[in-house]
Structures are given as structure tokens and as C-alpha cells.
Amino acid sequence: MQSKIKQTMLVLGGCRSGKSRFAEEWIAENFKQKTYVATSVVGSDKEMQRRVDLHKERRKGEWLDVEEPLEIASVLRKASVNDGVCLVDCLTLWLTNLLLADLSDCQIEERIRELGKAVDECLASVVLVSNEVGLGIVPESRLSRRFRDLAGWCNQQIGRHCSKVVFVAAGLPLYLKK
């Protein structure tokens, strides 16, 4: 069951497309040691807390949970081969956190480059989940366009560092890169 060869995968999809479930199920079939790197910040948002609780319940305590909203490259660099696989869920929440931390586009792009290097350097396998936000209309606000552009650039960069890229729609995977 435990994969002996390091694997890297980017899983893309729209909101509620089934991308997280696909990533978790793929990992469950291929790895015993599993680390979940959560990028969400719940704060006082009760609805978001409910979503986080549902995700945790679905993993049923079989995962080591690491909550890290900003420094995910650092988490990956610390992972050992014994960690099996690290699932980062999700990159678009991570980008939101970086935007809310008032980082410039150049600073965010540097963080994305650092993340790509960390994916390469990580001793464990890595699966990253991200929203595909470029399939809709051009957003009305400047901030929304900035987010969309950075998310698209992030997905392109991280996709280059991954041996597999999967697009999930309606819960069904389409392998873009095998």
C-alpha cells in the first residue's frame, strides 16, 4: 500500500467539484502515513468551522493534522520520507491568507516559487488541492481580478512541479498530466 516512490500531484477543480474527496481517496488507496496540511483560517466563522469539522470527520483521525495558513513551504520542507504523503488543502485559501496579510503581488509570487521548490525538495509525496478559478467571467472588482490572476499563476507554477495534474468536475477525475 505505502508508495515507495515519491509522487507529486496537483488536484484542480471548481467549488464543490469533489477535488478534496478525490485527493483524500487517492491518498487512502496509496499511503498509510498521511499528513493533512490545512490552510483555512476559521476565526469566529461558525459556518466555516462546520466545514472544517466535516472534513476532519471524513478523515476519521487517520491523518496527522497540521494547521498552517501561511508557511506551507516550511511544513513541506520539514516532512520526512516516513511521513508518507502530505496533502495541502487548499492553495486558493492559502492565497487568500497571503492577500489578507497585505503581501504584494511580487511577494506572493515569491512565496509560490518557494512552494514549488519545497514540493521538489520534500522527502514525502505531496498532493496539493486548488480551485480552478479561470473558467468563469472576468470579475468586477480589482481585488477579485488580482486573486483570479494570482490563483491562475499559482496553479500553472505548481503544476510544473508536479508529476501528475488532475482536474475534477462532478466528482470525476480528468488526468491532465500523468
Residues for the chain: how many in total? 178
pLDDT at residue 2, rounded to an integer: 58
Average pLDDT of every residue of the chain: 93
pTM of the model: 0.93
- Kindly give, in sequence order, each residue whose CB lies less than 8 Å from that of residue 17, ignoring residues fewer than 6 positions away: 168, 169, 170, 171
Q: How far is 95 from 97, CA to CA, in rounded Å?
A: 5
Q: Is residue 56 part of a domain?
A: yes
Q: Is residue 1 part of a domain?
A: no
Q: How far is 2 from 95, CA to CA, in rounded Å?
A: 31
Q: What's the CATH number where 111 sits? A: 3.40.50.300
Give catalytic status of residue 161 as yes or no. Answer: no
pLDDT at 149 over 70: yes
pLDDT at residue 1, rounded to an integer: 57
Domain count, the chain: 1
Average pLDDT over residues 18-41: 94
Q: Is residue 37 part of a domain?
A: yes
> Which range marks the domain in which residue 80 is found?
8-15+23-177
Where is average pLDDT lowest: 15-19, 85-89, 115-119, 165-169?
15-19
Q: Is residue 30 part of a domain?
A: yes
* Confidence grade of residue 106 (pLDDT, cut at 50, 70, 90): very high
C-alpha cell, 10: 496537483
What is the three-state SS of the chain? CCCCCCCEEEEEECCCCCHHHHHHHHHHHHCCCEEEEECCCCCCCHHHHHHHHHHHHHHCCCCEEEECCCCHHHHHHHCCHHHCEEEEECHHHHHHHHHHCCCCHHHHHHHHHHHHHHHHHCCCEEEEEEECCCCCCCCCCHHHHHHHHHHHHHHHHHHHHCCEEEEEECCEEEEEEC
Choosing from 24, 39, 40, 55, the catalytic residue is 55
pLDDT at 154 over 60: yes
Q: Is residue 85 part of a domain?
A: yes
Q: Is residue 2 part of a domain?
A: no
Q: Is residue 3 part of a domain?
A: no
Q: Is residue 142 part of a domain?
A: yes
Q: How far is 145 from 151, CA to CA, in rounded Å?
A: 10
Please give the backbone phi and psi of residue 131, each rounded to the nearest 5 degrees, phi first: -80, 140
